[in-house]
Amino acid sequence: MKAKDIMVREVITVKREQTVEEVIKLLMAHNISGLPVVDDENRVVGIVTEGDLIYRSKELKLPSYFTILDGYIFLESPKGMEDQIRKMVGYRVEDVMTVKVITLDEEDSIERAASIMTDKKVNRLPVLKDGKLVGIISRRDIIRSYANNE
């Protein structure tokens, strides 16, 4: 069986300029835990999940540093702290979304989808055809396919 055989075709999506509040309302209204972020050509540019939203409540991790001659030498990149702050106080989807999205092609097998989900610890995979979003597969969709095959 292939991704196109079990994917949900009517995918609820958001645009990067939408607000976090709109995302929360969509997640609650549709009882889902993540949404692909698409551009005007329906290409996936990110994904926003409950994990991205929960991130807003976590403690800020300050980079390690030491001082020499009244100056600070960071042992870690301060960019990481900047990213944390951006995600914690973000108002728009583009501020909180994950930009490195793992996707499937509609011709990929269900076994490949299951392997990616377990190896990469993701709960959903946008499905693409010619680089454009055509569906989404969640862990539940894979389990449902097992039940339907018995």
The CATH number of whichever domain residue 45 belongs to comes to 3.10.580.10
Range of the domain at 51: 3-148
In the predicted structure, residue 110 carries a pLDDT above the cut 60: yes
SS3 letters for 29-85? HHCCCEEEEECCCCCEEEEEEHHHHHHHHCCCCCCCEEEECCEEEECCCHHHHHHHH
User: What is residue 60's predicted lDDT score, i.e. its pLDDT?
Assistant: 44
Specify the pTM.
0.75
Question: What is the arithmetic mean of pLDDT over 79-100?
Answer: 72
In the predicted structure, residue 84 carries a pLDDT above the cut 80: no
What separation in angstroms does the CA of 139 have from each of 37, 55, 86, 87? 19, 22, 29, 26
Instruction: Give tens-digit pLDDT for 13-51.
Output: 999 999 988 998 999 999 999 999 999 999 999 999 988
Q: What percentage of the chain exceeds 90 in pLDDT?
A: 62
Q: How many domains does the chain have?
A: 1
Question: What is the arithmetic mean of pLDDT over 111-133?
Answer: 96
User: What is residue 119's predicted lDDT score, i.e. its pLDDT?
Assistant: 96
